[in-house]
Structure 1
């Protein structure tokens, strides 16, 4: 099965909702307006119904989170140019607020973008940056998260069979799994980081050839994403499960998993994910020996990619269909 992008957890669960003054709770009413600024100030600070000033303002931090979400959405669609633009603005806002937590979260989102773009050296540089920032800020959760992200990056998953020996691939998988298991207690308060950790464990188990353990771990991630309606993440979880099943030659179960991935990506209107799901389904059908079904799946993938202006992906999917049957697109 071919690879597809994944996006990772990035939301800050601490949005400030201003305390609104209740209607009809005016303190002294028109008397305040007539009494002048000094009296107004006195009543504003002494009246129990006056709006309370927030203990902390999150304007820039929430704006940064919004940019991270837009960046993650662009990564899921394979639109890395716009993803980096959104994340550059997120970084500007995080720096202006001088908030260590937000800085680390932006860095991790950038790591995700560069990693999925295939720029592993740049991702490695930002992993180090994020981990150092989290450590200096004394944030154990984000420091452990950064280490788990780095562990994900050390996996040979996604590299060609000739790029890494089987023994080295398994060694890297064992190390990544050990790091993730060690750091998981520090991230248990954040379900999205926990889901990502389960996914890393699942990928590591897959690299070691442990299909049952791999699927069990990724299902843990899927349960979290489905419960919290992270549709694109849930779709990617099922895509990975399909990959695990396909690698174990369980093609009917792989087909079932890809159908679930398609359902979630349809709900998310994630064209890039849909195209990759159909492309993977074509590969599964081809391996299972159902050539007409494989041609149909490859054709569907080409159509989706073309509609989403993903020309290179559309051409690659169309070529796969043509290789099985001479079809003029």
Structure 2
């Protein structure tokens, strides 16, 4: 099957940094959220939602891989276990201009387990290694793996090391480690993000045991102070829910971790910068609510933020709702001129 990439594809970013990244999150890290995130930070590495190999090969490939060049650096996360399909999709990732292709070995949902996708693959390190090897052979992009520290029934330190060693032997040099096991029966995906205890020390120990591998830590991280603590022991930090629910935190990333001025200095400036993108999406036929739901956390924790969220929630879903809803919501919040890093 031949699939042409979009005309706006650009070559992958050189010197990719994983020092700070935002986790792939289903229904959340869509192109609309990623565009906002990139307005707030030039250096944060962004990830797509997980896309299954079957969806890419047999579905609407253009729709699943569509992104704006403004989102770079950007990684594609794949869900799958068949080596040939993973290789085919890794080629598509390169063709469409992504900077990295990542394999999901951490999602615990029943639906993906039934298709040998996600955390259940922790129990099949040879299969993961086979898939990673095929992906590496198929693309010049970095191939990375995001995984748990174990699954129920396979949760010992030695079993974690076996997994890492086999996948590393296949050529993977970067492991993004969610510092919890996944419990595959009896817990929902949401419960699997909270109930199994965090074991950050295991991730630190992985870096100590395999110093030549790049180890990125993920799971329950909320503040820059926590990030700095983790960076004493690992190569990078990945934030998930906190970065989504409080996206203004990202405006502090470039000054805090990369020594550069923030791209925007106020939340108002960020949202105004997004208006042309929102208008272009509306012209494509996208409903405003599909975009605006990712903006609700932008004014989290400041006076007027609740009114901003309420106005959008009450009006964005209405028939014919357009950019005027965003502009009216913005007027509910008084603009502050404090530097981004002070507000993050």
Same fold (TM over 0.5): no
Higher relative contact order structure (alpha carbons within 8 Å, sequence separation ≥ 6): 2
Q: Larger helix proportion, structure 1 or 2?
A: 1
The bucket for the TM-score relative to the shorter chain is: 0.3 to 0.5
After TM superposition, the score normalised by the length of structure 1 is 0.34
**Higher fraction of strand:** 2
Which structure is larger by alpha-carbon Rg, 1 or 2? Answer: 1
